[in-house]
Amino acid sequence: MTGYQSGLLVILCFNVIAAYAVYLPMAAGQLNLGVAGFMATGAYAAAYLTNEAGWPMGTAIPAGGACAGLLALLVAVPILRTQGISLALATFALGQVIAAIFLNLDVVGGAAGYPVSAYAGPGAVFAATAAILAAMLLLSRTRFALYLTAIKSDPVVTDLMGVNVRAVQVGALTLGAVIGGLGGGLYGHHFSFVEAQHFNVALSIFTVLYVLLGGVQTVWGPLVGAAFFTLLPEVLRAGGGWRYVLFALLIIGFMALRPQGLVTAGARWPARLRHRAPERPAAETRLSTEVSGS
């Protein structure tokens, strides 16, 4: 594997991790535009623990994720009192506040950034991404994932069925923040540097776009969306200066054809059709039998 290919896969891994950080709350109908803030929290916390406290990288990065999750848990209750576009604005503001705090925090370098002493190689990034993907697959088979879908479809009916809607929403936002914090910590240790300017609003918006394009209905949607945004511009590199025009046109085309996302529950349609296909001959057989019997 060349350095270019390895670097591209590393970027894809970071985008996939960020996409799953957004996916969990979005699966419950919450638009989180503050994921960059949670990633920054994890990145700075893990880097500080590695540099100043001497923690090993394997412990500092999960601790950074836990810090991001704790922050999300603290702000979840007041933020989740809002819904829809108000929730998006609230999480957007939260992300900006977090970035501004780190930008002015001299203990972690402030605007100059914060070097990280430990280094996480591409193998560690690949392994962490695979572990997060496996965890998401396992989570998608639990009742928690079913609750998320039910809340997104109709929170009132879900509440009437005895599900604690607010607790599930808080859990989704917190778990998403933990994943984002893990991604941020891993990012800082891979590039050996953390700066608040990287965790800006553009990162949050692009991450949301990964999930929207890939689809929210299945756990594979964020993976496909992140791969689309990461790999397709490289595939279109032969187009020179026109590649981003082609890329934008492809996005418009895909969203026009599949507004629900590239990967949806509709992927089961062919299987259903295959099951339905034999029904017609069977009906025709019964009809011919009745006709012959009469």
Residues 187 and 158: their CA atoms lie apart, in Å, by 37
Q: What string of pLDDT tens digits covers the 294 residues of the chain?
A: 788 889 999 999 999 999 999 999 898 888 888 899 999 999 999 999 999 999 999 999 999 999 999 999 998 888 888 777 888 888 889 888 998 999 888 888 888 889 998 999 999 999 999 999 999 999 988 999 999 989 988 888 988 888 899 899 999 999 999 999 999 999 999 999 999 888 988 898 999 999 988 888 888 999 999 999 999 888 888 777 788 888 889 888 888 888 888 887 655 444 444 444 444 444 444 434 443 443
Q: Are 95 and 35 in contact (CB under 8 A)?
A: yes
Q: What is the largest CA-CA distance in the chain?
A: 93
Q: Token pair of 218, please?
A: 């299945």
Q: From 173, 186, 176, 179, select the one nearest 43 (Cα to Cα).
A: 186
pLDDT of residue 266: 56
Alpha carbon 58 to chain centroid, angstroms: 22
Q: Token pair of 150, please?
A: 């039910």
Q: From 199, 227, 200, 198, select the one nearest 211 (Cα to Cα).
A: 227
pLDDT of residue 277: 44
Return the C-alpha torsion angle 149, 85, 232, 134, nearest 10: -30
